[in-house]
Structure 1
Amino acid sequence: MMSTLKDLAVRLFDAGAVQLGDIEAMDGRWTPVYFDFRIIVSHPEIMMAVAVHLQNLATEINHDILCGVPYAALPLAAVMSVNTSTPMIMKRKETKQYATKKIIEGVYTKNQNCLVVEDVVTSGGSLLETVSTLRHESLTVTHAVVVLDREQGGASVLKANGVELRPLFTLRNLTQILRDVDRISDETVDVIAEHIKVCQFGKKDNFC
């Protein structure tokens, strides 16, 4: 198992979870770097290492249950749940249309502290949607642990909504690690840094 975040960053890159180029993201934006952490479900050692590092962040946060943002973070939350014997609940993408008609699957009680698990935060929208659903179900949500904060405004949006983000990596930190081990060039680091600067969500001068 990878013992350091530096080791983990390299393994994620080598596994193809970090992709470089002029790439179209899910919402139609173009980005010089894209993260596909879904790929780690095919790499059990990497998935375990990511989960363990997230668990280390979680030890500093008071929580009773875990909830992964669907779908990429669900396997991570499940591994964390098993490793730490912490109950987990699952938010559905949409309300079940038959039988129980639930939006949240699993067992929970009112006012429990729920720690949200996410893979990547950009604008914060997906994570905030999950937080809103959990709060609507009378759960308390104050923190989220995430593999990567792209540093494009999502953390500020979440903070404004009462959620503190705890990331394993920031985009600048991750790219610097990869540059230090010669996985990416200085030019790529500069391109990504400029993208972070220009593409900030929640600001009037956002040019994403």
Structure 2
Amino acid sequence: MYDKQKLIELVKSLSLKFGDFTLASGKKASFYLDCRKLTLDSEGAAQVAAGMLELLGDDLPDAVGGMAIGADPITAAIITTAHFQQKKLKGFIVRKESKAHGTGRDVEGPVVAGDSVVIVEDVVTTGGSSLQAIEKVVAQGIEVREVIAIIDRLEGGAEAFAAQGYKLRTLLTVRDFGIEPPAQ
């Protein structure tokens, strides 16, 4: 069962660090959210999966997935939790770089052209990683419904998705930790 307050406490204890950081977007920040420490913790993974399934509601896509490596534990937790809730849901992984051997696919898993999917993400800053994942998924003929993330840093990601026709929904924002985003 999803408990927002419990998730906030878990993020604070496992993932939220203060200092001087450079984010994947290249932006400088005074705090960092290492959500792999959350999603690779059994209780954290359970809260994230339950919350994301609650966000998805009854109109499930065919699959959930996103850019490796950050989305991988989220995807696994969601599809496992869906199974225990008797919901049918597949997962997929988007490679950052195409592999030169095997099938050479950018999108791995049991998804096929025509499927509808939701991109999952741990932390959204500018949305760059998920926009790359969307591009690779759409190139395979797969329909992207939206993006769902654990935390929005409120630094332009939602607007970047909206500009491409996608909605961003999140379980939390930085304001849930008493952090005000920088003025844009």
User: TM-score, normalization: structure 1?
Assistant: 0.79
Question: 66, 79, 82: which is aligned to 2:80?
Answer: 82
What is the deviation of 1:169?
0.7
Equivalent position amino acid for 1:54 in 2: M
Query: In structure 2, what is the Cα distance between the partners aligned to 1:171 and 1:60?
Result: 27
Question: 106, 117, 138: which is aligned to 2:141?
Answer: 138
Report if aligned partners of 2:62, 2:116 keep a CA contact under 8 Å in 1: yes
SS class of match (2:75): helix
Question: 155, 159, 162: which is aligned to 1:159?
Answer: 162
Report if aligned partners of 1:142, 1:162 keep a CA contact under 8 Å in 2: no
SS class of match (1:19): strand
SS class of match (1:145): strand
- Stretches of structure 1 that go unaligned for 5 or more consecutive residues are 177-191, 201-208
Q: How does 1:20-99 map to 2 (within 5 A)?
A: 20-59=18-57, 61-85=59-83, 86-99=89-102
Q: 1:93 to 1:83 in 2, by over 3 A?
A: same
Higher Cα Rg, which structure: 1
Q: Which residue of 2 aligns with 1:180?
A: none
SS class of match (2:121): strand
Q: How does 1:165-204 map to 2 (within 5 A)?
A: 165-172=168-175, 174-176=176-178, 192-193=179-180, 196-198=181-183, 200=184
Query: In structure 2, what is the Cα distance between the partners aligned to 1:131 and 1:51?
Result: 21
SS class of match (2:29): strand
**Structure that is richer in helix per residue:** 1
What is the deviation of 1:105?
1.1
Identity of aligned residues (%): 27
Query: In structure 1, what is the Cα distance between the partners aligned to 2:81 and 2:164?
Result: 30
How many residues align structurally? 179
What is the deviation of 1:27?
4.7
SS class of match (1:93): coil
Report if aligned partners of 2:45, 2:74 keep a CA contact under 8 Å in 1: yes
Query: In structure 2, what is the Cα distance between the partners aligned to 1:166 and 1:42?
Result: 21
**Structure that is richer in strand per residue:** 2
Query: In structure 1, what is the Cα distance between the partners aligned to 2:146 and 2:20?
Result: 32
Report if aligned partners of 1:70, 1:93 keep a CA contact under 8 Å in 2: yes
Moved over 4 A (4+): none
Q: Which residue of 2 aligns with 1:100?
A: 103
Q: 1:31 to 1:93 in 2, by over 3 A?
A: same
